[in-house]
Structure formats: structure tokens, C-alpha cells
A and B are shown apart, each in its own frame.
Chain A
Amino acid sequence: MPIAHPNLHLTRLGGAIPAWLGEIEPDDLLPVCRNVSDGGGRLVALWGSDARGDVGVRGNGFVLHVALVNESGLICLSMALDAGQPAYPDISRVFPAAGRMQRATYDLLGIYAHEGHDHRKWLRHGAWHGFPLRKDFDAAQSRTDEPDAYPFVQVEGQGVHEIPVGPVHAGTIEPGHFRFSVVGEKVLRLEERLGYTHKGIEKRFESLTLQQGAKLAGRVSGDSTVAYAWAYAMAAESIAAVKPPERALWLRALFLERERIANHLGDLGYLGNDVALAFGFAQFWILKEQVLRNNAALFGHRYLMDKIMPGGVAADLAESGKQTLRDECAMLEREVRLLRGIYEEHAGMQDRFIAAGRVEPKLAAQLGLCGLAGRASAQAWDARVQFPCAPYDRLDVQMATYRNGDVAARVIVRFDELFESLRLQREILGRLAHEGAQEDARPEPLEKLPGNGFGVGMVEGWRGEVLVAIHTGADGKLARVHPHDPSWQNWPALEHAVLGNIVPDFPLINKSFNLSYSGQDL
């Protein structure tokens, strides 16, 4: 059992990752969260669902779902809430990252945390009435144009002033609002306001078939399309108790590592650009372009969208393609090693990187910082290492961690992970030759799921752990799908990372995290 608590009875979920499901009473939620937190565990995701009218659900109201993780695996807790007063204990006292998730859950479903201290809307900016994820929500009647008031926390004192930035930013990036309180150029406080790209993804899932849902999952955050599509497929396969062909699993890992390679190359280029070394952008984006072109030539899509479907994959790799990828590996290893040497010896660049945007390991642990940014602040979590789903159980992934927690550390982790992904890609190409070589990686797609099912998938994307939870209705259709991006955990940490730095360093620090707006705005 992953946690011991007298009132908690967990049942093991089938599927690719170790996961448990249990019902919990309101009085037990905080003690269980503290128990997990004290043991070094973290909050992964929090969402709600509307179970009014569902047969066999206790309380016949709403349900709160909390996904926690510790060294044993994923623990999914569900708590029945009263239909009239759907309230639950505030867990942001134990897991600060829960704060925004709780606010978002209120905006979309109308369930709320008792004693929650921040009542400002998070995902709703005043564009609709009512709660979209309630089954009786009427979209046609929901329209309103009364923006919600959103008072930012004020910093007062002599010489303090505010700089509002966004939602439309100066570069080609996603929209969001940043409110800086500064003295001179020094940042005293940063407050983020996100939600601008909220386009109703969770509601949209409810009207899609399983296979259509896979496409939508692959567009929650376009830069992580493989991770989302795999997590979605993993959740569906867990409900259907289906195991994809071996060859499909190896191809999925190949796609995931290629996604990591492409994104890390792109970020390393932009991190050079943001300290005025345009050479870095030019060089790394030449390399990235070659990876993307190989993706298009071999698999039919530059970002590998729609190549992972529930049940298997939608592309295969011929023998000639393997050689192309081996050549690519050799070329990338040679070039990236050279560029890393140039980056490391460039005094101006290192001066900008070192000590900028630091998140100390202790703070990172408190905030639940995860993924790449977490590993740069000594948070040794990597789902490929701790919970190696097939085929990672046969790959022995080496985790990259670093303690400094600054921009330089996030650059180093990217370099280390890039080389590790290239090593893994070689390994996978070798295994593809014999393991399941005779199999078809493209079986009949999974079309239908059993009724009243629950499944969860978690995949270590390039940014961090991506989780997708699927609930099916009595008819087996998608009743509720919750995709969770690691950016939920890491955005609040950025507010801390920038403190004491100067405003012109913000773009660099922001880029070193490179968080998703779309992935958290949903």
C-alpha cells in the first residue's frame, strides 16, 4: 500500500503505471495529504466532476478528485460532495500548488474549498455565467461581457511602481498577464494572471469519441503533443484493460524522446538568443529543424501529432528510417557537444545565466516544483525513472539533477537530458529490430471503453509529468477528461524565481522555465 491510513481503502488500478484509487471522507483529506507530504510526496493534480444523477455515487452530488504521488506511485482520491453545498477542505495549506487548481475547479464546476483564502477567479475572466463543467450548463445562455474585478496584491513604499505586461507579449509567445512591482529595475513582486487561452478543452472532451479525444489531448499544449497523447492512451488502455503491442510501446518511447530532443534544442537556442547570442539561436534551430524534417519524412508530422492513439500507434518505422535516425543521433551528439563547449566558455553568457532566477531546493520542495525545472533545483523526480512504464522498464533512464536552481542549472539539465535522450533513441532503435519486430504496431484502434470506468495515465514529457484522467459514463462514453500540465506546479515558482532579479532578466528566467499557457488555461 502506498499510504497507511485507517479509513482509507485503496484499490490498485490496472495499467502501465502503479496507481491506486480510493474514496476519502472530508475529515481524512488533510491528514492524508500531510502524510504524503511528510513522506516526501507531492500533489500532481486536482479536479472535480459532476456526478449528480449518476446511479451508485454516494451523496449524489459532485466529486472532488485529488492525485498525489509518492515513491510507490500515484494515489487518486475521490471525495463525494453535497450537491447543494459542494465544499471540501482547503489543501493548499499542505500543497501550495493546489491554490490555483482549487480556484480553477470553482470557476468550471462550482465546487469550492472551505477557508480558501483567495476568492479571485482564475480561469474565468467574466466571459460566461454559470459553471461549464456542470452537466446542466447551457452554453447558449452563458454569454456575458462583464469582466471580473481582479485586484492584484499591491506593494507600497517609496519609489515602488507597477509594470503591467500582457496579455499580448512582445515576442512570439502565448498570452498571459504579468504584474511586476519594482523599485528601479529590481523586482519586489511578480504576480501572474493566466487563463487568457482558456478555450473550454475539458468541456469539449465530453462531446468527443475516444479516438477524437486523442486528437484533442494532443492539442492541450502543442509542444507536448506526444506526452499528452500517450498519457491519454495510457488512461484509456487502463480502463479497457488493454495492453498495446510491444512494438507500439517502443515507438511511443521513441516519439517521446524525439519530442524532448526537439524542445530542448529549441530552448537552448532561445536561451542563447535571450542573452543576445544570436549565434545560439541560429545553430540550435538548424539542428531542431533537421529533427523536425526527419519526423515529417519518417512519421508524417513534424511534431508527431496524432501518432499515438488508444490501443497503439499510427505510424511505423522502416529499416531505412532507422539508419536516418542513427545518422541524426551521431550528427546531434557531435554538434551539441561542440555548442555546449561554446556556451560554457562564453563569459558573457555564463555571467547572465549564473545566479539568475534561482529557486533553492528547499523552496522547490515546498512548492512542489516538478519536471525539468524541479530537477534543476534538486527535486529528483522523473516518471521514467521512478515509475518506468513499458518500455522504460527496460531502458534504465539516467536522471539529470542539479542543485543550483538558477538559469544555468536549467541549461545544464537540458544539455544532460538531451544527451540522455539521444542515448535512449539509439537504444530504442536497437530494440526495435528484435522486440516485437513481427508485430503490427498499428492494431485495430480502441473504439469503446467499459462503462463507469476510471483510468489515469502519467508520462514524463519534456517539461515535466503530464497526467490525463478519464472517467467514462454508464454508456462507456467520455464523461469527464482532465488533462494536467506540469506548468500548474511551476508557474507559481516563477513568481519566486524572479524576486530580487532585474526586470530585463525576466524574459531569460521565464524562458529557462518555458512553461505552457495553453496547458494550464485549458
Chain B
Amino acid sequence: MYQLVRQVIKTGIKTEAAPQPDEALRAGPQRLQEEILHVFGSALSIRHVDAGSCNACELEIHAVSNAYYNIEGLGIKFVASPRHADLLLVTGPVSRHMLTALKRTYDATPEPKLVVAIGDCACDGGIFSSNCAGGGGESYASCGKVSNVIPVDVLVNGCPPTPTAILQGILTAISAPKQK
């Protein structure tokens, strides 16, 4: 026990400053009112859904919980049920086999809800589909990008996107658009 406590004290605080929201990540205008965003902003619950990813995006979603990015320190936590969630974090091209599960998860999430697509595959189908002429990345096994299946609010590109980018995407989804 002594060693454990000593290690905690020695480690200290590693948490870094969170990134600022980025308007460029939005797929469309912010749909939620500022009051709701204010509530979300101080206590947001996220349900992650892997809709067919290669698991690299999952590694980075895990990393946003580490001491450096410390997502829980911002009042944001991952929950086990979509019924407890305000925001869905969806990775992967949506495989045909995950189509029903993703739709049901979305339907089970209470309104108002937000969806953030994480990674190139979730944004446009990525490497798993021939993406000629701006297609949505469909194939015999894949429905392609997440917005082919459910509405998406924010897109975070990257293969995989860094934890900072993921955090920025989440913070953008719950931020009010800047007044010009």
C-alpha cells in the first residue's frame, strides 16, 4: 500500500489543457439550444458504438480516458447503455451486420442526442471501400459511412484520429456555434 500511495504522489497530475471546439468539424448547423448545451457541457454521457472498425479508433478512444487527456475531468463519461447516453461516438464503416444494432442503439438513445463519427471509415467509408467519385463507401459487406445510416453532427477524420482530435470533436458537438 505504501508503494502504491508513493507512486500516486510521485506521478502527480499529468492532465493537459483540453482542445478548443472547431467549427470546421461540424457536418451541419448545431441543432441544440444553448441551454441544453450548457447542461451537456458540464455532464455529458457518451455511448461508444463500434460499427465495424479495425479497432485502431478504439485504442484512441481508450486513450482519451488516460491521465493526459483525462476526459472524465471535463465532466464527460462513457456509459454502458444508450439509454443513459447524450452522445453516440461511432467508429468504423458500418458493416451490414452492424446496421440493425447501430440503428437500435440510436433509437434507444433519448432525445436530444448527438452523434460524432470517429475516424476516416466512419466519415467516408475509408480504406475498406472503393470510394470513387465521393461515394459513401458501400460494398457487399458494408453500408459505408455512418451518415448513410444515422444522422451525424460532427466528423472527426484520421486513421485513427488522435485523442486530442477525438476530444475536440466531442467538445465541438456540445459547443454553441461562435457568433460571427
Contact = CB atoms under 8 A, between A and B. Distances in A.
Interface string A330-345: 0000000011011001
A285 B67 contact: yes
B68 A289 contact: yes
B140 A220 contact: no
Interface string A109-143: 00000000000000001011000100001010011
Would you call the interface of chain B mostly helix, strand, loop, or mixed? mixed
B48 interface: yes
Nearest to A174: B50
B26 interface: no
Given A201-B128, A204-B129, A220-B54, A196 B101 contact: yes
Contacts of A216: 127-128
Of B11, B59, B97, B128, most buried by chain A (CB within 10 Å of CB) is B97
Contact of B55 (A282, A285, A302, A518): A518
Contacts of B96: 125, 127-128, 198
A132 B140 contact: yes
B3 A175 contact: no
B4 A175 contact: no
Contact of B97 (A198, A302, A518): A198
Contact of A174 (B55, B65, B105): B55
Contacts of B139: 139, 199-200, 203-204
B162 interface: yes
Interface string A187-220: 0000000011111110110010000000110011
B18 interface: no
Nearest to B141: A200
Nearest to A277: B4
B141 A128 contact: yes
B68 A221 contact: no
A223 interface: yes
Contacts of B51: 175
Contact of B52 (A199, A215, A266, A302): A199
Interface stretch (A47-55, A164-172, A246-254, A417-425): A164-172
B66 A196 contact: no
A173 B57 CA distance: 10
A268 B9 CA distance: 21
B54 A222 contact: yes
Interface residues of B, number: 50
A128 B56 CA distance: 27
Of B8, B14, B66, most buried by chain A (CB within 10 Å of CB) is B66
Interface in B37-77: 48-63, 65-68
A279 B139 CA distance: 43
Contact of A172 (B56, B61, B140): B61
Given A219-B54, A289-B68, A305-B56, A171 B97 contact: no
A195 B55 contact: no
B11 A286 contact: yes
A286 B66 contact: yes
Interface of B: 3-4, 7-8, 11, 14, 48-63, 65-68, 78, 80-82, 92-93, 95-99, 101, 105, 127-130, 139-142, 159-160, 162
Given A170-B80, A200-B128, 9 more contacts: A127-B96, A142-B140, A175-B98, A195-B97, A220-B54, A222-B56, A286-B66, A286-B68, A339-B7
29 contacts: A127-B97, A127-B140, A128-B140, A139-B140, A168-B49, A172-B50, A172-B58, A172-B62, A175-B49, A196-B98, A198-B97, A199-B128, A204-B128, A219-B54, A219-B56, A221-B55, A222-B57, A222-B58, A223-B56, A266-B62, A281-B65, A283-B11, A288-B66, A289-B66, A289-B67, A305-B56, A341-B3, A345-B3, A517-B55
In the A-B complex, the 10 residue pairs with the closest CB atoms: A222-B56, A127-B96, A200-B141, A170-B80, A285-B66, A222-B54, A139-B140, A219-B54, A197-B52, A222-B55
